[in-house]
Amino acid sequence: MSDDVNRVYKAVLSYEKDAVVESVKEAIDHGVDPLMLMNEGLSKAIVEIGERFGKEEIFLVELMVGAEACMAGIDLVKQKLLENKIQVLEPKGIIVIGTVQGDIHNIGKDIVKTLLEAAGFEVHDIGVDQPAESFVTKTVAFGAKVVASSALLTTTAPYQKEIEEKLKEAGIRDRVKTIIGGAATSPEWAKTVGADFYASTAAEGIVIIKKVFEGE
C-alpha cells in the first residue's frame, strides 16, 4: 500500500470526513490510480470499521460517522473516474434491500446498504414498509442475486415468509439468495420462513453476502 493510499485508509479509520476528503484529493493530485484508491484505501477501511462494529469494539455512532466519511471519499473518486473517462469496475454483485411491510425501522438496513456500497456492490434500497411484491418487482427489474429484508417487529416478521412465497410465485426463487435480519429474526426464524441466510449484525451480513457472490 502506497503512502497516499495508506493516508486515505487511516483517515477513514479516524472517522474524520474532512481528513478523508483532503487525503483523497492529495492522492489524486499525486497521480494515484483512482481504482486502487477505492479498493485498497476506502473500501478496505470501511470493511474494517464494519468488522469492529460486529465485534462490538465501536459504537453505532462511530460506524455511521465512519461510513459517511468513507462515502465522501468515494464520491470524489467517482468524479475523477468520470472526468478521466475511466471505466469503473463492474459491481461485485447486485442486491435488493428493504424493510418489510408495516415496519418503518431503517437504521440497520441503512448500515448494511452503506457498507455494501463501500465494498463495491450495487445496492437498490427500496425503503421501509415495503410489501413483498416490491421486493420481487425490484429483484426482477435490477437482476439482483440477493434479496435482503429487515424486520424489527414480531408483528411484521411474517412478511419475510411472504417474500419467499412471492419469489416462488414469480419463478425466480431458485435464482436468488435471501438473507434476513432485524431484532424480530433468528436462525430458527430463517429456517421457518425458508430464507437462505440469517445475519445477527450488519458486519455478519456483509461477510455472508460477499461469500454468496464469491461462490458464483
Q: Where in the chain is the domain with CATH 1.10.1240.10?
A: 3-83
Q: Where in the chain is the domain with CATH 3.40.50.280?
A: 94-214
pLDDT score at 80: 82
The pLDDT-based confidence of 63 (bands split at 50, 70, 90) is confident
State if pTM tops 0.75: no
- Tell me if 93 sits within 8 A of 122, measured CB to CB: yes
How many Cβ atoms sit within 10 Å of the Cβ of residue 5?
Answer: 22
Q: Rounded distance, CA 38 to CA 170, Å?
A: 37
pLDDT score at 196: 98
pLDDT over 90 at 110, yes or no: no
Q: Rounded distance, CA 206 to CA 199, Å?
A: 9
Output 24-29 pairs: Cβ under 8 A, ≥24 positions apart: 24/73, 24/76, 24/77, 25/76, 28/76, 28/77, 28/80
Q: What is the CATH number of domain 94-214?
A: 3.40.50.280
Q: How is the chain split among helix, strand and coil, in percent rounded to 5?
A: 60, 10, 30
Topology of domain 3-83, per CATH? 1.10.1240
Q: Rounded distance, CA 136 to CA 170, Å?
A: 8
pLDDT score at 86: 55
* Percent of the residues in the chain that have a pLDDT greater than 90, as a whole number: 59
